Amino acid sequence: MIFLYKAKKSLNEIVEGRLEKDSVEQVIEELQSKGLVPVSVEPQEIKIAPDSPAEATTVKKPVLRFRSGKWGLKQLVLFTQKLYNLINSRVELLSALRLLEKNCENPTEKALLEDIIKNIKDGIAFSGCLNRYPQYFPQLYVHIIHTGETTGKLKEALSQLLDYLRRVEDLKSKVKQALAYPIFMTVVGIGTICVMLTFVLPRLASMFDDYNAQLPMPTLILLNTAGFVKHYWLFIAAFFIFLIFVLKFSSQGKESFFSRLKYHIPIAKDIVYKQSVENFSRSIALLLQSGVTLLAALKDAAFVIGNPVYIEQLEQVRKDISEGGTFSGSLAKFKIFPDFFVQMIRVGEEGGRLDQVLLDIADSYEKDIEADLKVVSSLIEPAIILVLGLVIGGMVIAMLLPIFNMNSLFGS
């Protein structure tokens, strides 16, 4: 059997060829005996001889096409965790990726790993492979991996990334937890109102019709509303489903109206701003600790901040630094961050501890966010209870008004 092979002759030189052997193992042994490091060994495509040349066919190894997709933070943390565990156990990178691919049940992730393995076999660096899939691996992630590869500290790079991603995931989880109970109460309250409008009130309305009474205005408005909801609930449901799709479509992209709206909501804007600064500071610190220059770090970490206005201003900061300005001086000039942030950066620059100071800033903002979330959560919950209580209580009172006015109800 003839095998096609690729092997590394030196660090930057790859040779290709073919050998006739009985098995892949024999080909690998032959290459190793010649001082070559096997990268890939594949059997040559087999041509089936037909009755006529026009009927010639080629039997090819089936190829799983890579499907485009996108990873969330949770999937990226899980991938990094599994890869770090294998590398930390002294498993070679290519073997670690093969193990991940072999035990992967997700078809899209499996195809992604197959593509990465194939590219590494072709001589592309791991970071270069990841850079081909920006929808899965952000530039910050790729830069840290690249630094780990070039310095021979891939395990340390994965450990840093894992710690960073876990902190970001933990902060997002705390935001969700703070909003979970208020959202649950809102859904239950709206559900209660819908039940009253569609089932309870129509039955009471028929009772009032039997008495042919002159009903108070609040009761009439409520009964008309209940009747409208009962007869047109299908159209109302369709409208809200359509509205959800429109809002979801409109919220896609960093330049959308809804992505900008969160920076102007009175209660949420401070938390969103602090979260952006925290992510930005931690990202810059991580890149600097990995040996990335400040200019490159600013370029990659700017998108973490999210706000298009700040991203544009940070580009001006990069330009100012490239022209000889200091980081703290440029930040003070463009007024992107508060004075506390600028002063801490100045201290870090003067003491040669910019990365550590940025981590301290990130930790400080993280604590502030946690405190703000507790305050907001404690304010939202009673506010929702008050609003729902007023609405449901108003509905109950409107239905009880005719009973309170029995003389009017019986026409006497």
Domains of the chain: 2-59 (3.10.20), 73-165 (1.20.81.30), 175-412 (1.20.81.30)
Burial status of residue 278 (CB atoms within 10 A of its CB: 0-12, 13-18, 19 or more)? buried
Q: Is the pLDDT of residue 29 over 80?
A: no
Per-residue pLDDT at 56:
37
Mean of pLDDT values over 139-155: 83
**Can you state the percent helix, strand and coil of the chain, rounding each to 5?**
70, 5, 20
pLDDT band at 1 (very low <50, low <70, confident <90, very high): low
Query: How do residues 284-306 score in pLDDT, each as one tens digit?
Result: 888 888 777 888 888 877 777 76
Query: How do residues 237-259 score in pLDDT, each as one tens digit?
Result: 888 888 888 777 665 555 555 55
Mean of pLDDT values over 250-274: 65
Which of 263-267, 306-310, 319-323, 395-399 is predicted least confidently?
263-267
Per-residue pLDDT at 61:
34
Q: Is the pLDDT of residue 67 over 60?
A: no
Question: Higher model confidence: residue 243 or residue 261?
Answer: 243
Q: Return the amino acid letter for 359.
A: L
Judged by DSSP in three states, 4 sits in: strand
Residue pair 195/395 in contact (Cβ under 8 Å)? The answer is no
Per-residue pLDDT at 357:
92
Q: Is the pLDDT of residue 51 over 50?
A: no
Bridging pattern class, strands 37-43 and 57-59: unpaired
Q: Which whole-number Å values give the CA distances from 201 to 180, 224, 312, 406, in the listed order?
A: 30, 10, 55, 19
Q: Give Cβ neighbours of residue 252 (< 8 Å, ≥ 6 apart).
A: none
